[in-house]
């Protein structure tokens, strides 16, 4: 079945450093979504990418969707303590006539002040 | 606007007991999802409904798990009998078609 892997599993940075998490799918995706889960909280939607090669920015966050629509990345510039949490990508299978999302394994970000 | 509502927030039960988790999706959303989250297995989709109809239950672990959606504003996930390995956080999420999913606060289940 479809699998979505993320690397790294865990990253510890000093406040102000940059951070990147990578997401790779075993199958081509129709679109990809990113979610953030704070410790003890629930996943919260960040963004959706649909087009091949698409790049979107939200303040210090930059999201990319690969040309082959099988991978994606999230880059945070100058991390802050409020960025702490687990970041998940979630992909929808290309051609799938369903609303089903497959969540990635997640990357836990720790930010030291 | 109220978000997705789940109850109870915490449940501690003994092995063999029946557990029922409840979810009220956001009004107007036509898709509802049940997820389970553990350290070992991450965030797993158990089952999802579209317009109150179960579409994909391939993630339901075994016959001990069942889910229903009797109407557009209510769903239940039942585990009977419960086992210690069912201990996890169970999330309900809803969406409007293929758009973003809105997650509830989750139910933390501990089976002793």
Q: What is the pLDDT of residue B61?
A: 85
Q: What is the pLDDT of residue B89?
A: 98
Which carries the bigger pLDDT value, residue B97 or residue A33?
A33
Q: What is the pLDDT of residue B98?
A: 78
Q: How confident is the model at residue B1 (pLDDT cuts 50, 70, 90)?
A: low
Q: Which residues of B touch A42 (CB under 8 A)?
A: 91, 103-106
Let me know how long chain A is: 113
Of chain B, the percentage scoring pLDDT greater than 90 comes to: 88
Can you read off the two tokens belonging to residue A45? 């939607």
Three-state DSSP at A36 gives strand
Render pLDDT for B46-74 as a digit per residue (tens, 0 to 9): 999 999 999 989 899 889 999 999 999 99
Which residue is closest to B91 within chain A, CA to CA?
A42
Q: How confident is the model at residue B26 (pLDDT cuts 50, 70, 90)?
A: very high
- Stretch (H or E) spanning A89: strand A85-93
Cβ contact (<8 Å) for A99 and B31?
Answer: yes
Nearest to A43 among B48, B97, B103 (CB): B103
Contacts of A40 (CB under 8 A, 6+ apart): none
Residue showing tokens 């409904």? B49
Which parts of chain A sit beneath pLDDT 70?
94-97
Interface of A with B in 8-67 (CB under 8 A): 31, 33, 41-45, 48
Q: What is the pLDDT of residue A95?
A: 63
Nearest to A48 among B35, B45, B100 (CB): B100
Q: State whether residue B48 sits within 8 Å of chain A by CB.
A: yes
């Amino acid at each position: 079945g479809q699998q979505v892997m993320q690397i790294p599993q865990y990253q510890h940075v000093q406040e102000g450093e940059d951070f990147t998490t990578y997401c790779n799918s075993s199958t081509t995706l129709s679109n990809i979504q990113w979610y953030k889960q704070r410790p003890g909280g629930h996943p919260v939607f960040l963004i959706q990418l649909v087009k091949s090669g698409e790049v979107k920015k939200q303040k210090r966050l930059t999201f990319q969707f690969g040309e082959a629509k099988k991978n994606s990345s999230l880059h945070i510039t100058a991390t802050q303590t409020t960025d702490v949490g687990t970041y998940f990508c979630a992909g929808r299978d290309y051609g799938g006539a369903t609303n089903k999302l497959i969540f990635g394994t997640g990357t836990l970000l720790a930010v030291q002040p | 606007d109220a978000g997705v509502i789940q109850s109870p927030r915490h449940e501690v039960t003994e092995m063999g007991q029946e557990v029922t988790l409840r979810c009220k999706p956001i009004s107007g959303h036509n898709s509802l999802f049940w997820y389970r989250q553990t350290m070992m297995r991450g965030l797993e989709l158990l089952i999802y409904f579209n317009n109150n109809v179960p579409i994909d239950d391939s993630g339901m672990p075994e016959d001990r798990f069942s889910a229903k959606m009797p109407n557009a504003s209510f769903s239940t996930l039942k585990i009977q009998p419960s086992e210690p390995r069912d201990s996890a956080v169970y999330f309900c999420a809803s969406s409007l078609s293929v758009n973003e999913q809105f997650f509830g606060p989750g139910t933390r289940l501990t089976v002793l």
